Structure 1
Amino acid sequence: MSPNTIGFALLLLGALLLLAKLIRVKWRLAQRLFIPSSIIGGGIALICGPDVFGRLASAAGADGLADSGVFTVEVLEVWGTLPGLLISVVFAGLFLGHRLPGPREAGRMAGPQIAFGTALASGQYVLGLLLALLVLGPVFDLPPLTGALIEIGFEGGHGTAAGLGDTFADFGFPEGQDLALGMATVGLLSGIVVGILLINWGVRTGRTTELRAGAAPSVSEQAGLVEKENRRSAGTLTVHPSSIEPLTLHFGLLAIAVMIGWLILSGLQAVERWLWIDTIELFVYVPLFPMAMIGGIVVQLAIQSFDRYEIVDRQLVERLQGFSLDMLIIAALGTLSLQVIADNLGPFLLLTVTGLLWSVGAFLFLAPRVMPDHWFERGIGDMGQSLGVTATGLVLLRIADPELRTPAYPAFGYKQLALEPFFGGGLITAAAVPLIVNFGAGWMLGGMGVLLVVSLGAGLLWFGRRPGVDRLDEPA
């Protein structure tokens, strides 16, 4: 494959994202549902690809378009490789620029959030594995590893689903990636739609503490635009551009984090080859991105110790993460196989509905009993994340608490520091499929069941009965 082909494939993604943004500005339904431009662009790429346009063209006699639609096979090949690379950049920056708090500081504010978030994630595994053992295996002849798809697709999202593609393929179930990507799309859209419906219900019934009847996002916010008077810098020039471009500096930090993660993973794989490769294989199937996250933690610890000039700007890191995630989502959706979902429609619907009911049910029945204060604002963010990754949770949180007056936002951030290394694309998510295959679904089900019981016990019997954190005096 030529470098020109790779470059053109990347440029094509940029053009599709720009087209998607223009559609978002004009399409009222997309605005009301807060559908990200990357999802719209991914939908366009999917429709123009082989599974939609290619099939229609083939039926009309244009067989030359059947394999790639309006694109080329080489472009689709580049797009299919990108998600596994870009997700490492996203995870490498999760903690860069965030000062890591002490356990006491994080636990005081985020303890209930950690208990609730752990219950949501572990419950997705418990329900998914029970569904795999009792229904998906006996009825549809699917492997037990399908029990991990709810957490991978919903809490993990498009990036995690795409990053685990090689793991699914190595264990003889490449369809798992397409199913997880489909679930990630359904989860993101349903998270926004259901979340907004719940916020409206909370306002009408007086369950929200900050948002009152009549308050609604502005037209510009729905269109994804920022009014001139409310615009702020997307980053800070912490170094002079004559020495190095600030964005380049932050990209270098992300690169170092990814390389540290690669060294950690390579070391673990080497130890496995030396000691127990004949008995069990685990790290050989673990993807790079959770280790890149650990590399980011290592880089952040070094920054906290030695960066006297405070040259790391969190906003610039977020811009690089956002760019990577947008490109990742549109590339992943553009190469999604609708045929795989159609062939496994029954299991897909069972897993999707189960995950949706669990997240919404936990919000309605567990959050009020686990959160000592501001349960609606705290819980809506976690529910949105459990369906459609962190961005979805933050969108819902900002709608429910637009001025960030409740402790929900900082508690959500602290909870991320505690749970992100494990769930939603962390170590447990990455190792779930190898663990299920090597040790059996029963062991994974037992471990997640214990974790679910412990998190529910801590939330209901301890955090839910303690005095909470009152309103914040100033917006965060």
Structure 2
Amino acid sequence: MDLLIAFSALSGFLLVGTVLRARLKFLQSLFLPASVIGGFVGLLLGPVILGNYAIIPIPENWITIYALLPGILIVPVVASVPFGVKFKSRLEKKREQAQVNAGSEKKKNSNASRNILIMFAILVIISQGHNVIGIALNYIFDKTGVISDIYPTFGTEVGAGFAGGHGTAGVVGSLLQSMNQPYWNIAQGVTVTTATVGLIGGILIGIVMINIAARKGYTKFLSGPGSFPQDMKQGYQSDVEKQQTFGKETTLGSSIDTLTFHLALILGGSGIAYGLLMLVKKFNVPIIASVPIWAYAIIVMYVIWWIMCQLNLSWIVDGPTTSKISSLFTDYAVVAAIVSMPVKAVLTYIVPITIMMIVVGAFTIFAAYWLCKKFYGDFWFERSVAVLGTNFGVFITGIMLLKMVDPEFKSPALTDYSVGYSINSILAFVMFPLTFGVLVDQGVGAGLALVTGVVLAAIILLLVVSKANVKSVKQLNKESEAL
């Protein structure tokens, strides 16, 4: 009953956040999600900030539940990710092979692939560059005595919050908790803090850069920040005719409701992941036993989804429906993480956190602007704001900024950005537990070496791909002249 009422309170905070977003203009201009707004309402008016004078008297055991929820709910969120990947069956591969065209079509696909690889390399350089900066500053703070009780993974929260958003706070907490690190709740709270600053800062900085670029003539289709429709700012669609459908009903209610089926598929895969982890721990398998549960979940679901695709059962899963389920869990995870944020513990690190966010923010602005301008020709600014948005906030922030400069998505920026982001997300899932594991077991020096190596590899990839792209363009120009 406590769990049910605790969730009811979280639901109340979400509804309050929804109303405030719909009514307050400054919240609309910041595009803050209702989960973030409602979470801060619960934090500021609850016992974490006000103590015995709390306006909203949240019981202490609820705060404990809320602190644990992000690490639990992130499991089904991650488990839903594989359903967005297209695994082709043998029959589909044969059909596509028969339809492949030679000549110019291959060159076109080759150029598109190069642009995607360039985007992937840039995203890796910036996102992993966050960790390089954060871990390096961790080392400096420790050696100079700026922080007396610094923990091994301090500094990774800036990259996790900026490039991962509020939902990543649950991943950080779950991962450190699985490693039996006592500071997991503090790290989770610090990640919430950096995610909030990054989300707000990314939108504001992005709008300023767009206005400057428009005056300098860098944009191709600019219609300005005011082009956003009012319903997008308010967070709801009152016009019934414009309201979009939830998703496709792939099953019939006489057997099982579609939403129930998709939820059962995601939670069933999560259950198999838990069972697999328990089995590994029972036999005390080295290294693998310390892998966090969400990593097992994504591997299990990739296998399940691949098998379903090979059996030509992909039709029974609707992508938008699984996405909505993932969003549902994420909203509750975010509001729970913010309401339970250990403010006092986070404030003890406020000076180094602020320094880190300033340095990482400056690096993100410069890298997004310079790398896209250097390695792209047309539509370089459109690509740069998408990169800026996702490395300050989340994927949707990049989409929002891109929509400001390319309202109808006529440029190839959206394709490059979305595909490059997807590939980078796969790398991030691998790097996340690996980086934390190295930092905890081997120390800051080894962790810094790891992330620096990944950034250097991405730089090499960027140089190789861009050089090949230049040669391809020159070859096409020669062929045009010959014709």
TM range (shorter): 0.7 to 0.9
- For residue 74 of structure 2, what is the aligned residue in structure 1? 87
In structure 2, C-alpha distance between the alignment counterparts of 1:80 and 1:17, rounded to whole Å: 17
What are the residue-to-residue correspondences of 1:38-77 with 2, within 5 Å? 38-54=35-51, 57=53, 70-77=57-64
In structure 2, C-alpha distance between the alignment counterparts of 1:115 and 1:160, rounded to whole Å: 22
Return the offset for 1:136: 4.2
The answer (yes or no) to whether the contact 1:137–1:143 under 8 Å persists in 2 is: no
SS in 2 for 1:307: coil
Q: Is 2:123 the partner of 1:117? A: yes
The answer (yes or no) to whether the contact 2:439–2:447 under 8 Å persists in 1 is: yes
In structure 2, C-alpha distance between the alignment counterparts of 1:267 and 1:428, rounded to whole Å: 24
- For residue 17 of structure 2, what is the aligned residue in structure 1? 20
- Structure 1 residues 374 and 51, CA gap change in structure 2 (3 angstroms): same
Question: In structure 2, what residue type is equivalent to 1:125?
Answer: N
Q: Is 2:253 the partner of 1:247? A: no
- Structure 1 residues 206 and 310, CA gap change in structure 2 (3 angstroms): same
Return the offset for 1:41: 0.4
Return the offset for 1:109: 4.8
Q: Which has the higher helix share?
A: 2
Return the offset for 1:53: 2.6
Return the offset for 1:122: 1.6
- For residue 432 of structure 1, what is the aligned residue in structure 2? 435
Return the offset for 1:416: 3.3
The answer (yes or no) to whether the contact 2:435–2:451 under 8 Å persists in 1 is: no
From 420, 423, 431, the counterpart of 1:418: 423
Q: Is 2:186 the partner of 1:189? A: no
The answer (yes or no) to whether the contact 1:259–1:295 under 8 Å persists in 2 is: no
Return the offset for 1:108: 4.2
SS in 2 for 1:180: helix
In structure 1, C-alpha distance between the alignment counterparts of 2:394 and 2:467, rounded to whole Å: 25
Return the offset for 1:204: 2.9
Return the offset for 1:370: 2.9
Q: Which has the larger radius of gyration?
A: 2
SS in 2 for 1:421: helix
- For residue 258 of structure 1, what is the aligned residue in structure 2? 270
Identity of aligned residues (%): 24
Return the offset for 1:283: 4.2
What are the residue-to-residue correspondences of 1:111-260 with 2, within 5 Å? 111-139=117-145, 140-141=147-148, 142-168=150-176, 170-174=180-184, 175-213=186-224, 216-226=227-237, 227-260=239-272
Q: Is 2:7 the partner of 1:10? A: yes
From 287, 292, 296, the counterpart of 1:291: 296
Question: In structure 2, what residue type is equivalent to 1:207?
Answer: Y
In structure 1, C-alpha distance between the alignment counterparts of 2:192 and 2:224, rounded to whole Å: 36
Q: Is 2:453 the partner of 1:445? A: no
Return the offset for 1:324: 0.8
What are the residue-to-residue correspondences of 1:293-372 with 2, within 5 Å? 293-308=298-313, 310-372=315-377
Return the offset for 1:372: 4.3
Return the offset for 1:6: 0.6
- Structure 1 residues 108 and 246, CA gap change in structure 2 (3 angstroms): farther
The 10-residue stretch of structure 1 (401-410 or 23-32) with the greater mean CA deviation from structure 2? 401-410
Return the offset for 1:138: 2.9
In structure 2, C-alpha distance between the alignment counterparts of 1:211 and 1:100, rounded to whole Å: 37
The answer (yes or no) to whether the contact 2:42–2:56 under 8 Å persists in 1 is: no
- For residue 472 of structure 1, what is the aligned residue in structure 2? none
For residues 238-264 of structure 1, give each alpha carbon's deviation from its aligned partner in whole angstroms, at most 9, with x where no partner exists. 221221111111112212332344355
- Structure 1 residues 82 and 333, CA gap change in structure 2 (3 angstroms): same
Question: In structure 2, what residue type is equivalent to 1:127?
Answer: I
For residues 98-156 of structure 1, give each alpha carbon's deviation from its aligned partner in whole angstroms, at most 9, with x where no partner exists. 41489x88844521111011101221111111111122443213134213222222223
Question: In structure 1, what residue type is equivalent to 2:191?
Answer: A
Question: In structure 2, what residue type is equivalent to 1:138?
Answer: T
Return the offset for 1:36: 0.9
In structure 2, C-alpha distance between the alignment counterparts of 1:405 and 1:380, rounded to whole Å: 15
In structure 1, C-alpha distance between the alignment counterparts of 2:252 and 2:420, rounded to whole Å: 35
Return the offset for 1:351: 1.8
SS in 1 for 2:228: coil
Task: Give the TM-score normalised by structure 2.
Answer: 0.84
The answer (yes or no) to whether the contact 1:114–1:419 under 8 Å persists in 2 is: yes
- For residue 61 of structure 1, what is the aligned residue in structure 2? none
The answer (yes or no) to whether the contact 1:372–1:463 under 8 Å persists in 2 is: no
- Structure 1 residues 12 and 464, CA gap change in structure 2 (3 angstroms): farther
Task: Give the TM-score normalised by structure 1.
Answer: 0.86
- Structure 1 residues 167 and 308, CA gap change in structure 2 (3 angstroms): closer
Q: Is 2:388 the partner of 1:387? A: no
Question: In structure 2, what residue type is equivalent to 1:13?
Answer: L
Unaligned residue ranges in structure 1 (runs of 5+): 58-64, 277-281, 470-476
SS in 2 for 1:422: helix
In structure 2, C-alpha distance between the alignment counterparts of 1:266 and 1:203, rounded to whole Å: 56
In structure 1, C-alpha distance between the alignment counterparts of 2:314 and 2:183, rounded to whole Å: 49
Return the offset for 1:417: 3.2
Alignment: residue pair count: 446
The answer (yes or no) to whether the contact 1:94–1:293 under 8 Å persists in 2 is: yes
Return the offset for 1:87: 0.9
From 93, 96, 119, the counterpart of 2:83: 96
For residues 249-287 of structure 1, give each alpha carbon's deviation from its aligned partner in whole angstroms, at most 9, with x where no partner exists. 11122123323443554566567x34x5xxxxx544432
For residues 383-411 of structure 1, give each alpha carbon's deviation from its aligned partner in whole angstroms, at most 9, with x where no partner exists. 22222232322332333332222222232
